[in-house]
Structure 1
């Protein structure tokens, strides 16, 4: 069965990744200086990152089956600890500093030391132990950014508490209280104040809070139940072929998206059967392998399927992708664990429509593709209003990426409702103000100067129907874009009246389509080169309309992303500001935005959904 890999396969992949970085180790193995763009923190920090993140992978590989632990791997990281913490060594680690990347890497070192303690830390010479404790102890009292970074301090100080090192219990308690304030329900945390919903909820917040309980012996009940609830929705962020949702920052960590799945098995806190967990994780591993990850050198590059810097942040250095190590957390589960021994169980792969009210998302799956409709995550804290394309778009998917090259970022066509003002300025969706989320429905608004755009998304078969209520100066031009598709060859464009579709040939054809249902006068496609993480050639279908003389107007479009070349779209009617239609199930749908927004779906067999803002 595809993706059904034994534990030995994961060990082999981990060993391959660890072997591939050894040629880039500095003398003494304290740093791994991998090829690639230097981060904003500089080569010394990047070298430490190379040690810490591969040490994490080595620790999972070693601790899960100590009897099979390679002595050479243990010695390699023991040597790195000896030299990295020796201030007189040429490649000694930078001291931990306020708001510095060293805080992040100290947490990986602490987790790795905790998990391998009997075979590594406890066997170090006392002088080396003291130096390790002293280097980690530099974190006490240091400033961490008010996001998942506070948990790095919690992890390090908890490890120090367990080995008799310096720590501040008040700091640990205060930072855990910070995280508690970010909990929004349904297993979801925002990463710091604001609307920062992305993979950090799983591969950082859930991971570190539960590993803290593993270190401290604290009661894990609340964190386990939150993880269980989180996983009930999170498992649907993967396509049936293993492709993860392409949304949020630090996507270059790739397989780290698997960490919450393994974490659920590790803490007996998963709604997913053990055999399904193994299969889901294996398919994601295979998905990246099929797209050249790791590369021909055996290395993880800065990118997604291919090296692609626009998918990274300025804190990303050449070793940053090795937080993919978190995706190997399952190796902590020994060979006899049910996640490895249970019969394979197929995850749910059928059509899906699921509301996730906490992050403000709808998940929509058909034809092997999962789409995320976004009306809640903008990647901003209360004091900023950026429009990061990995957060601010109306939609994301497992098989497409936003256009993140300079041209795509500037023009901002894909999955965005833009108002082009008479003075030439184009509006941008920076801060999302939620209107509501219900079954098959989500809505939000954004304001940019004198323009206010309200958008409701309604799931209808393979379509997302978008109802836009636009308040803008007369003569403004309105534009709505679908998903950008990409591949290594030019995409095929199929215009037709008020419908535009683009097709990417990438093994199986992927079709992105947008249809103008009300208010539009033109359909077209934007073609780009080397602007997309999924391929060098990309294309986005879009619609254009002219705002009428009145201050408020209604535009309705239907967006589709799938494998079928043709799909019949909905037939709508617009009466004033109310939009109505019969959906693919025969239900009557009504949507109204404005001062008294509402959504009603009257089912053909009696079911009824009513939402009123």
Structure 2
């Protein structure tokens, strides 16, 4: 009897599997066929088509933030969606979040010279609007005056603004008028009356001071030294940093730690505050970490939604994007391979998930509107970390990143029986 029951159960499982493979009444087969068709289409796109897709998507994402700031309507028009356990003062933090994070993502792109292409027009529109908007952001009499003066969260998002200025000084800092520059400096110095949390936040405080140092202002050396020493102490090995004393398996090495540490260290190196060996070691560690990021891109462009802050979407690939922008990718990872993988992620994330509301603002979620997965510190403004995955748009269109042939990325090679490089731990 026992054997008979086992056979019956086994038979039922086999039947269920067979039925799930192709049920006409649910259009499963048709959907699979469509997916294969989409997959095939993505393989055959050119770098020029990919760049057009990236630039239009980034423009769509960033325009509502930047244009409304320019028009002094950001606070009037931006939605104030929060997660179920949100605990911050949303009106005091979310607008600077949106502006700072968007700026950091679009800065390398806006640094490219003007041209008369469709992309060039979009780029100039955003840059002109941002320069106009920054005058409002630090004007106490403006309807869109951003809060740097209270709450702890502004330490974070001022840091992304600082990172934007460091990534594109000639496009975003130098053209500002003297009054606006003076006001920005005052706002950054006002952050010093609050302490940063004992984790990746130390980098935020550090890079805010590094930005001031870069423009000839006197920095707070204690904040710089504390960030420099503690982050290095928290290195765990093989390209991974701990976020504070305790390790967390999430994307914060990409959202924050590697890219911001490199930009922070670059200022310190230029000002002779660290040795070149320190910068080079940090860079090698980031390059190693990007190997993991490239490998987690699934054959279909999906990637695992683990850890905190997954509502930041494509921000999870900032470290890979920055390494590509710096042209420091590992030798065995061709730039066009990274472009192809990231393009697949964007198509999977933004074509197959409805991540925008009817007015073009990002909505809380990972794939679509999923407010239940938002963290207790996540609001609408937080979501614009997604722009950080687009940094390679700062490479000109004739760079090999864009001109190289579409290439399968590592997991696609692995799952289609192609040769691919084995992976091993590194010791630096």
User: Is the structural similarity TM-score above 0.5?
Assistant: yes
Residue 139 of structure 1 aligns to a residue whose secondary structure is: helix
The residue that corresponds to 2:56 in the other structure is 12
The residue that corresponds to 2:126 in the other structure is 73
Q: Distance in 2 between matches of 1:10 and 1:351?
A: 23
Residue 52 of structure 1 aligns to a residue whose secondary structure is: helix
Could you tell me whether the CA contact under 8 Å between 1:11 and 1:331 is conserved in 2?
yes
| 20-29 vs 221-230, which moves further | 20-29
The residue that corresponds to 2:300 in the other structure is 241
Q: Distance in 1 between matches of 2:53 and 2:76?
A: 25
Structure 2 CA distance for partners of 1:2 and 1:125, relative to 1, 3 Å:
same
Q: Distance in 1 between matches of 2:252 and 2:114?
A: 30
The residue that corresponds to 1:265 in the other structure is 324
The residue that corresponds to 1:304 in the other structure is 366
CA displacement at 1:92 relative to structure 2: 1.6
| 265-274 vs 1-10, which moves further | 1-10
The residue that corresponds to 2:157 in the other structure is 105
CA displacement at 1:289 relative to structure 2: 2.0
Which one of the candidate residues 106, 129, 153 is aligned to 1:58?
A: 106
| 242-251 vs 18-27, which moves further | 18-27
Which one of the candidate residues 194, 198, 212 is aligned to 1:142?
A: 194
Structure 2 CA distance for partners of 1:296 and 1:222, relative to 1, 3 Å:
same
Which one of the candidate residues 185, 203, 225 is aligned to 2:255?
A: 203
Q: Distance in 1 between matches of 2:211 and 2:57?
A: 28
CA displacement at 1:190 relative to structure 2: 1.3
CA displacement at 1:288 relative to structure 2: 0.9
Could you tell me whether the CA contact under 8 Å between 2:149 and 2:187 is conserved in 1?
yes
CA displacement at 1:232 relative to structure 2: 2.6
The residue that corresponds to 2:403 in the other structure is 341
Residue 107 of structure 2 aligns to a residue whose secondary structure is: helix
Q: Distance in 1 between matches of 2:74 and 2:164?
A: 15
- Where does the alignment leave 5 or more consecutive residues of structure 1 unmatched? 353-364, 368-437, 440-613
Could you tell me whether the CA contact under 8 Å between 1:52 and 1:105 is conserved in 2?
yes
The residue that corresponds to 2:72 in the other structure is 28
The residue that corresponds to 2:42 in the other structure is 2
Structure 2 CA distance for partners of 1:20 and 1:29, relative to 1, 3 Å:
closer
| Counterparts of residues 82-481 of structure 1 (less than 5 Å) | 82-97=135-150, 100-140=152-192, 142-216=194-268, 217=270, 219=276, 220-271=279-330, 272-295=333-356, 297=358, 298-349=360-411
Residue 310 of structure 1 aligns to a residue whose secondary structure is: helix
Question: In the comparison of the two structures, how many residue pairs are matched?
Answer: 356
Structure 2 CA distance for partners of 1:231 and 1:139, relative to 1, 3 Å:
same
Q: Distance in 2 between matches of 1:268 and 1:6?
A: 18
- Pick the structure with more strand per residue: 1
- Pick the structure with more helix per residue: 2
Residue 6 of structure 1 aligns to a residue whose secondary structure is: helix
Q: Distance in 2 between matches of 1:281 and 1:345?
A: 11
Choose between structure 1 and 2 for higher RCO, CA contacts under 8 A separated by at least 6 residues: 2
CA displacement at 1:62 relative to structure 2: 0.6
Could you tell me whether the CA contact under 8 Å between 1:47 and 1:319 is conserved in 2?
yes
- Where does the alignment leave 5 or more consecutive residues of structure 2 unmatched? 1-40, 418-423
Q: Distance in 2 between matches of 1:33 and 1:51?
A: 14
Structure 2 CA distance for partners of 1:21 and 1:127, relative to 1, 3 Å:
closer
CA displacement at 1:106 relative to structure 2: 0.1
Could you tell me whether the CA contact under 8 Å between 2:365 and 2:374 is conserved in 1?
yes
Structure 2 CA distance for partners of 1:172 and 1:97, relative to 1, 3 Å:
farther
Could you tell me whether the CA contact under 8 Å between 1:65 and 1:335 is conserved in 2?
no
Structure 2 CA distance for partners of 1:310 and 1:71, relative to 1, 3 Å:
same
Q: Distance in 1 between matches of 2:127 and 2:290?
A: 34
Structure 2 CA distance for partners of 1:159 and 1:145, relative to 1, 3 Å:
same
Structure 2 CA distance for partners of 1:295 and 1:184, relative to 1, 3 Å:
same
**Cα deviation digits, residues 382-414 of structure 1 (max 9, x gap):** xxxxxxxxxxxxxxxxxxxxxxxxxxxxxxxxx
Residue 184 of structure 1 aligns to a residue whose secondary structure is: strand
CA displacement at 1:107 relative to structure 2: 1.0
| 175-184 vs 82-91, which moves further | 82-91
CA displacement at 1:267 relative to structure 2: 3.1
Could you tell me whether the CA contact under 8 Å between 2:69 and 2:144 is conserved in 1?
no
**Cα deviation digits, residues 238-273 of structure 1 (max 9, x gap):** 211111111001100101122122222233432221
Could you tell me whether the CA contact under 8 Å between 1:259 and 1:329 is conserved in 2?
yes
Q: Distance in 2 between matches of 1:132 and 1:308?
A: 35
Q: Distance in 1 between matches of 2:336 and 2:194?
A: 43
Could you tell me whether the CA contact under 8 Å between 1:303 and 1:312 is conserved in 2?
yes
CA displacement at 1:350 relative to structure 2: 5.8
Larger Rg: 1
Q: Distance in 1 between matches of 2:287 and 2:305?
A: 22
The residue that corresponds to 2:28 in the other structure is none
CA displacement at 1:185 relative to structure 2: 0.3
Q: Distance in 1 between matches of 2:411 and 2:380?
A: 35
CA displacement at 1:148 relative to structure 2: 1.2
- The two structures have a TM-score, normalised by structure 2, of 0.76
Residue 236 of structure 2 aligns to a residue whose secondary structure is: strand
